[in-house]
Chains A and B, each alone.
Chain A
Amino acid sequence: MSDKISRRSFFQRSAAAGALSFLAASGLNKPVYGMTNSQEIGTVIDLSKCDGCKNLETPLCVSACRQKNQTKFPEPITPIKDYWPQPKHEDWSDKRGLTTRLTPYNWNYVEHVQVDHNGETEDVYVMRHCMHCDNATCQKVCPFSAINKDAHGAVSINENICFGGAKCRDVCPWGIPQRQAGVGLYLDIAPTLAGGGVMYKCDLCRDLLAKGEKPRCESACPKNAITSGPKEEMKDYAKARAQEIGGYIYGDVQNGGTSTFYVSKVPFSKINEAIAATKKAQDDEKPGRPLMPADVENYLDTEKGMAIGVLTAPIAGAALAAVTVYKTLKGEKVDD
């Protein structure tokens, strides 16, 4: 970036600094942050602050999440059957200690990549978990309505209803929910023929949010790299922060908008390429290590025209019937 400050950029930076000061003064890190129960929450994940807790074996946000959610982790009934007729099933129960990807036993992780930017090699640490989309595809298309989005915008899976078909993972642009076989409703209905277990993912600590507390990953972060609060304020904060560091935002527009806003001084396209390259080098094709593609369209938005067609069909049908009956009566053609 140029060192010269134009009149315009001076005002922009002043506004950004002002917004930051306001947010700091309004107490972003206080337990109850002036949220009402129906207010949507946004989360800013500031990659310029995160160092991945590199001196620790497991980043604190990850270990805090694991500790908080351990009672919800699946306890499969063994032996676990294959998904007939496929000779396989998804079982992570013997890899409970794995903290380097998303699994049913690990709902967030930190991806570490090195990215060349402005002539320097930057270490980038990206804490990944559910983005909690505005129009969450997984929630909308779950065939059993097992996924809910609450007033805070937290998208969560009901483990008592989930059949484990993994459709949510297939339609999620980031493939976030992870499946564990040998647990859940399908065992009581048709364990051999249908279903595959239960899907697990971050629920934004919705129980804590309901009590006015912050998500556990945020409170555990020693660098204050994770900040949550009223969504619009967080969006503004992300913008201000990106402007301050001359960086970029990810998550504000992807999949039609999410409630997670990553801020980085390195372009996300480079981070995305680096994650893809790392996975390729490690020959890692399993789900649970999402990329960060820039263009993520929400498919349900493209269905709008079709949906309107469905909703207008009754009027068209009624109109044709009325015209037909009118013509028939006029023509007096009786055909019982």
Chain B
Amino acid sequence: MTNKILRQSRANRFIHWGTAISILLLIISGMGQLPVYKRYNVTSLPGGEWLGSFFEMLDLHYLAAGILIFVVSFHLVYHALRREYDIFPKKGDVKESYLIIKAMVTGGKEPPADKYLAEQRLAYAFIGVNVVVLILTGIVKVLKNFAGSQLPETLIALSTHLHNLATVLLIFGIGAHLLAFIVKANRPLIRGMFYGTVDEDYAKERHSLWYNRGRGKNITKTKDKEVKQKNDSQNKSLDA
């Protein structure tokens, strides 16, 4: 059995799955803000009737939005306080992504990667920007719905159109994120998001910079310690 090393902390997994589940609910309830479920007979499926209620969908949208905003806010503050910015795009990521994808297709050697691959950092930025746009415009839409509030027409229209556009882009982004697992080389990462750990060999090979910089060093140290302890015990026995 290969050694496992921690890749996604409990906090990271909470953020990932909190975001994923709330966004899934937001997409379902957001589509429910349009008259599509009834038109496409989804409401006549067993248990599908409630999807046709605009107001029940709005309730669900608010609930899921609350969860998403909670998680995103946790994510930003948590990583800012810990100064962890591994997933932020870096200069040259576009070129590096190209090289990685080229290597995946041609079977060549990928450039050495940090905790995240260049295209993973870009994907994060793409999804992140859309989520932030959705949250900000969504907040405007929530304020708009309060009794007595009449926000400027242009602000409402701008928020609505941006919200709709970002929704389409986000669905596209999530689709691309899921399609990435068609590529075999990416699949060992799935385990990391469920259990937190990935195979050490995988990390060493594909995320060598991260492996050597962080956990890799710890492991090396552990090995050194083991060797030292072994030597010490041998010396002791020799002394004896």
Q: Which residues of A are interface residues toward B (Cβ below 8 A)?
A: 83, 85-86, 134-135, 140-141, 143-145, 148-149, 165-167, 170-171, 194, 196, 256, 298-301, 303-304, 306-307, 309-311, 313-318, 320-322, 324-325, 328, 335-336
Contact = CB atoms under 8 A, between A and B. Distances in A.
Given A135-B147, A148-B153, A143 B33 contact: yes
B63 A321 contact: no
B145 A325 contact: no
Given A170-B35, A306-B59, A310-B139, A143 B164 contact: yes
Given A165-B34, A309-B62, A320 B74 contact: yes
A304 B159 CA distance: 20
B164 A83 contact: no
Given A143-B160, A325-B81, A310 B65 contact: yes
Contacts of A335: 6, 9-10, 196
Contact of B54 (A171, A309, A321): A171
Task: Among B7, B143, B153, find the residue whose CB has the most chain A CB atoms closer than 10 A.
Answer: B153
A149 B147 CA distance: 13
Contact of A140 (B9, B144, B214): B144
A303 B62 contact: yes
Contacts of A134: 147-148
Given A300-B145, A320-B70, 14 more contacts: A85-B41, A140-B145, A144-B161, A144-B164, A145-B156, A165-B34, A170-B54, A303-B62, A306-B66, A313-B69, A314-B70, A317-B73, A325-B78, A335-B6
B128 to A, nearest CB: 15
Interface residues of B, number: 54
A316 B70 contact: yes
Contact of B73 (A83, A148, A321, A328): A321
B146 A307 contact: yes
Interface string B167-202: 000000000000000000000000000001000000
B33 A141 contact: yes
B227 interface: no
7 contacts: A148-B153, A304-B147, A306-B62, A311-B143, A313-B70, A318-B73, A335-B196
Given A140-B144, A324-B78, A314 B214 contact: no
A314 B58 contact: no
B142 interface: yes
Contact of B161 (A141, A145, A320, A321): A145
B204 interface: no
Contacts of A135: 147-148
Contacts of B9: 335-336
Interface of B: 6-7, 9-11, 33-36, 39-41, 54-55, 58-59, 62-63, 65-67, 69-78, 81-82, 115, 138-139, 142-148, 150, 153, 156-157, 159-161, 164, 196, 214-215
A210 B161 CA distance: 27
Nearest to A167: B35
Contacts of B145: 140-141, 300, 303, 307
A336 B160 contact: no
Given A306-B59, A310-B62, A311-B139, A325 B82 contact: yes
A164 B222 CA distance: 67
A285 B16 CA distance: 49
A316 B148 CA distance: 27
